[in-house]
Structure 1
Amino acid sequence: MNDWLTLDWPAPAGVRACVTTRSGGFSLPPYDGFNLGDHVGDDPSAVAANRGVLNQTLGCAPAWLSQVHSVRAVEADLQTVHRADASWTARRGVACAVLTADCLPALFCDRAGTRVAAAHAGWRGLAGGVLEATLDALEVDGDELLVWLGPAIGAQVFEVGGEVREAFIGTHGEAERAFVPSANTGRYIADIYQLARIRLAARGVTAVYGGGFCTFSDPRFYSYRRANPTGRFASLVWLE
C-alpha cells in the first residue's frame, strides 16, 4: 500500500483517487500479490481478501464492473456488477473503479467536486467512444472537467496492426500522429495516451493530466502483454 499512486492533478477538495500496485496482498504466483481481478483464474479467496484490504484502506466501497471492452457507462452501483466499462457517481463514499493490466484507466472529476467517473479504455473501447460515453453520462461541460490518465502500456512497446490505426484516424484524422511504423511490416507503435488526449480535446476537455507510464516495463503493475495469465490492478476515484 505504501507504493500506491496518488494523482498529480488539481482536483477539488473532497475528491479522492488512487491506483493500486502489485505489492502486498494474498495472491500467489503468477498473480502475486495484490490482484483485484476476480475473472483471471486467481484463487477467489485471495481476491476476496485483497478486496477486503482495499475497502478497509480506502474507507469506502468500490463499485466493480464486469468489463467487456464496451462503450457503456453506468451509474456506480454497489448492489449490481454491471456489464460496462465506465461508471460515474455523485454519491459520497462510493468509488468508481476499473481494473486494468495494459489498457488505459481514465479518472474524471468536475471542478465543483460533485461528480466523479472512471473508464476502462482498451484500444477497442477507446476507438469506439468509451471516453465520450463517460462524458455524456457525467453531463458536465468539457471545460468543467479534469481527467487523469493512469498506468497503461507505453508508446514504445504498444504494437498494433493497421486495422487499429484505421479505426482511430477514420474518426479523428489527427490521430495519425499517434502512430509510427514499427520494425514489423504493416504494423505500428501506438501512443494510447496521445489518442486519449485527442479524443478528449475533441469534446472540449483539455485539463488532462497523468500519462507517461508503461505497465509493460514497470514491474509495479500487472501487464497482460508481459505475462499471461496475470492479475489486475485498480484505478479508483470517489467523493469523500
Structure 2
Amino acid sequence: MMKKSKIEVDWTVPDFVKAFQSDASLKFLNNFVDEQPKDLFGITNRKFSLVNQIHSNKVIQIYKNDHHFTCDGVFTYEPNVIVAVKTADCIPVLLSNKQGSFVAAIHCGWRGLSAGIIHETLKKIKTNSDDVIAWIGPGISQQYFETDRDVFDFFNKKYNFLTKHFIYKNNKFYTDLVGITASLLKYHGVQKIFGNSISQNYCTFSDGFLFSHRQNKTPFRLISMAWINA
C-alpha cells in the first residue's frame, strides 16, 4: 500500500471531478463552519460552508456553497458546489460515480456507521451502487482505537457480520473503523473502493503529519472535500 507524507485522493473518476485531502500542514479549527480559511479558497477558488457534524446518520443534499446544515453526510449534483467533512480520527469517505454526476462526503464515526450513515447516503443519492466510486480517507487504525463493549454491541445488533473487525484484549475492544467502513460500502453495493486500507495506508494516531483527537485532544481537523468542476 502507498504511504506518503502528502495524501492524494487516488480514486478513478472523470477528470472534472476534483477532490482534496488536507494534512497537518493546514490547521483548520474544529469549530469553523461558516468562515472558510484562506488556504482552502486558494485550493478551490470558491468560498463554501462546512456542515455541523453530530455523529448521526443524517444526510442532506446541498444546492449552493453558502449553507447552514447539521448532518454527517452531504451530497450534490450541482457543478462548483463543494461537499466536505472534517475529521481527526473518524473516517472521511468521498463518493462519486463513473459519470461524475454527483459528489458526496461522509463523516464516518462509529456512531454514524452503526446508525447507517453509509446506507442513508447511498439511498438519498438514488443511484445504482454498482456505478459508485468511493475513496476512504485517513482515520485511526485498529491498534490505537480502544473502545468499550458498547461499541461492539451497537454493531453486533445491526451488522453482526462486522464483528470480525473487533479484537478483544485486556477487557477492551480494539475496533477497525477503517475496515468497518470498507465492509459497509461493499455491503451496500459499492465495489469500486480506493484509499485507506486498500490502495493507501494511513493512521491519524501514528502518522505525525495528520491530526488525532484521541492522541492529544487536538483542536485541529483534517478536511476532505470534492466538487464537480465546471
TM over 0.5: yes
Q: Which residue of structure 1 aligns with residue 14 of structure 2?
A: 12
Counterpart code for 2:193: V
**Percent identity at matched positions?**
28
Secondary structure of the 1:126 match is helix
Q: Which residue of structure 1 aligns with residue 42 of structure 2?
A: 56
Contact 1:22–1:220 at 8 Å: present in 2 too? yes
Q: Which residue of structure 1 aligns with residue 202 of structure 2?
A: 213
Quick check: 1:179 aligned with 2:166?
yes
Instruction: Compute the displacement of 1:36 (Å).
Output: 4.2
Secondary structure of the 1:63 match is coil
Please report the RMSD computed on the Cα atoms of aligned residues, expressed in angstroms.
1.9
CA distance in 2, matches of 1:63, 1:135: 22
Q: Which residue of structure 1 aligns with residue 223 of structure 2?
A: 234
CA distance in 2, matches of 1:146, 1:61: 26
Contact 1:223–1:230 at 8 Å: present in 2 too? no
> Which runs of structure 2 are paired with 1:58-137 in the superposition (5 Å)?
58-76=44-62, 77-137=64-124
Q: Which residue of structure 1 aligns with residue 174 of structure 2?
A: 189
Secondary structure of the 1:170 match is helix
- The one of 19, 38, 54 equivalent to 2:31 is 38
CA distance in 2, matches of 1:165, 1:23: 34
Structure 1 stretches of 4+ moved >6 Å: none
Q: Bigger relative contact order, structure 1 or 2, given CA contacts below 8 A and separation 6+?
A: 2
Residue deviations 1:46-99 (CA, integer Å, cap 9, x gap): x95x71221122223333101111111111342322011111011111110001
Counterpart code for 1:216: F
Q: Which residue of structure 2 aligns with residue 22 of structure 1?
A: 24
Contact 2:86–2:224 at 8 Å: present in 1 too? yes
Q: Which residue of structure 2 aligns with residue 27 of structure 1?
A: none
Question: Where in structure 2 are there 5+ consecutive unaligned residues?
Answer: none
Question: Where in structure 1 are there 5+ consecutive unaligned residues?
Answer: 25-33
Secondary structure of the 1:225 match is helix
Q: Alignment length, in residue pairs?
A: 220
TM-score, normalised via structure 1 length? 0.86
